A and B are shown apart, each in its own frame.
Chain A
């Protein structure tokens, strides 16, 4: 008997719904992006995002079911992201997910968004061997997590200030590149020299697996200011490449150090910044030197999507880890600390 799960994701600025069979077979993964809507504001505006989620949510769900060729009745469970994220945005998905689960008489599964990013890796490789180490890097997160079993997480390190993706966004804005910053810097950096400009790397105190990117970001801003005062032209490609290299060096070094300390043989990347070309290449290469296997989701599953939510829900389904109809949005939800 196969398990058909509908996943719903509305934690930030993508309205998404997906139908996944047995945690691996992506029957549909509809993503309505609001990037264009928020571009004029230079970032995601929570109330604007929530209004758009409200307009789109049911259409996206219906499209996901149609594309998958299933009806409401074919579903075995309804899964929804309930945190972390923007509370007003999360509430739209949570309300829809709960109403649907109740109306159908099917189990409701509450999923942590970060857990979803991690599980994007299992969509294509369900047989990954525990323990696993995951570097979760996105606009809101930079976390190193040890995963002992399905659903059992041990946080090893996190950012003390800006998330890696946030640093990319802020630097891109300061350089006048636009929004969102990650892909723009990644592209521009390909034409630049990563050694051209010195940007400090923040490794913090010895043995720490925490991150800090605000100093890195400030170094870029200072560089831009100095150049402007002196009337010098900035080689943007060099600056993008140098900045990106400094962020990636720290991410890779800390992740591989953690893998060694905890004797983990498989490292996963997750989150929007896991789409970064340099991060993927450098992690792969340096891990290979140490006989560590590196895996990451395909590009389209690195950014926010509901397939990853339905995938993590599948493993919760197998554990009968269901949520009650009182499920609420928890904007600051911690990984592995489900609240319902």
Chain B
């Protein structure tokens, strides 16, 4: 079974083709170019590198957020359009799941954090120890201080990774010996992880039809937030009356 994985939820882009046993081909760029320029040529190349025909693919896994709103739309529009033309199912994979997955052998909690701007991170807490994804919280957009509070629910050591680590290094370091840092090279989400999780989900029947995949924005757009605040303070309700 061949699965194409697409990761474009953060400033880096990754694409891979996997089967049950290995990564057949993978491309990754961290070159500051927009995904719109990088992504489709990468997909074309990685399929060629893997020496599979699009007709041999059995699904497309795509990183579904949280992450950059624009990046998500580029990756997911690409995934669902390819899938619809090729008549394939799509498997949405949370960007945080994909980031945590390769390090889940860690003896403790795994906590990927992505830069969500506005002094927040996108994060979720995972159970390490055994391989596989066991998410203990929802996908969140929180400040690093709130995240630290949430982590107080457990006693275990925590492995931090993701592109937010660099930004919040000192605040995490303040947690003392409880905080561990993953290798730099584990901080950026990879297409191979998306594809690998996608393949497992596909086997479990967790794929959905191409047109139904939705990004996990988590946040409303700013205009909607402002509108909601304004109308709340004015005592109006949002039900159309």
Contact = CB atoms under 8 A, between A and B. Distances in A.
Interface of A: 40-41, 45, 47-48, 50-51, 53-55, 57-59, 62, 72, 87-88, 91-92, 94-96, 98-100, 102-104, 325-329
A58 B76 CA distance: 11
B210 interface: yes
28 contacts: A45-B221, A45-B224, A47-B222, A48-B221, A48-B224, A50-B69, A51-B73, A54-B215, A58-B77, A59-B211, A72-B85, A87-B70, A88-B73, A91-B70, A91-B73, A91-B77, A95-B73, A98-B78, A99-B77, A99-B78, A99-B79, A100-B81, A102-B44, A102-B82, A103-B85, A325-B40, A327-B36, A328-B36
A58 B223 contact: no
Contacts of A48: 221, 223-224
A45 B73 contact: no
B35 to A, nearest CB: 8
Interface residues of B, number: 34
B227 A328 contact: no
B84 A58 contact: yes
Contacts, number: 93
B69 A47 contact: yes
Given A102-B43, A326-B38, 15 more contacts: A50-B70, A57-B77, A58-B77, A58-B81, A91-B36, A91-B73, A95-B78, A95-B81, A96-B77, A99-B77, A102-B40, A103-B54, A103-B85, A325-B44, A327-B36
A48 B225 CA distance: 11
Contacts of A328: 34, 36-37
B41 interface: yes
Interface in B10-48: 34, 36-41, 43-44
Interface string B65-104: 0000110011011111110111000000000000000000
B40 A41 contact: no
B136 to A, nearest CB: 29
B168 interface: no
A58 B211 contact: yes
A103 B44 CA distance: 9
A275 B95 CA distance: 46
Contact of B77 (A59, A72, A92): A92
Q: Is the interface of A mostly helix, strand, loop or mixed?
A: helix
B77 A47 contact: no
B221 to A, nearest CB: 4
Contacts of A99: 40, 77-79, 81-82, 85
Of B36, B43, B70, B78, most buried by chain A (CB within 10 Å of CB) is B36
Of B38, B54, B78, B217, most buried by chain A (CB within 10 Å of CB) is B78
A87 B68 CA distance: 14
A50 B41 contact: no
B43 A54 contact: no
> What 10 pairs between A and B have smallest CB-CB spacing?
A47-B221, A99-B81, A103-B85, A95-B77, A45-B223, A325-B40, A99-B78, A328-B36, A96-B81, A98-B40
Contacts of B41: 325-326
A83 to B, nearest CB: 12
A50 B222 CA distance: 13
Interface of B: 34, 36-41, 43-44, 54, 69-70, 73-74, 76-82, 84-86, 210-211, 214-215, 217, 221-224, 227
Given A103-B54, A326-B41, A95 B69 contact: no
Contact of A58 (B74, B210, B221): B210
Contacts of B73: 50-51, 53-54, 88, 91-92, 95
Nearest to A41: B223
Given A54-B215, A91-B73, A326 B37 contact: yes
A326 B224 CA distance: 33
A230 B93 CA distance: 63
B81 A103 contact: yes
B70 A88 contact: yes
Nearest to A90: B36
A105 B54 CA distance: 11
A50 B70 CA distance: 8
A98 B39 CA distance: 10
Contacts of A57: 77, 81
A210 B194 CA distance: 53
Contacts of B70: 50, 87-88, 91
Contacts of B210: 58
A315 B227 CA distance: 44
A95 B40 CA distance: 8
Contacts of B74: 91, 95
Contacts of A102: 40, 43-44, 82
Contacts of B224: 45, 48
A100 B81 CA distance: 6
A50 B69 CA distance: 9
A207 B74 CA distance: 46
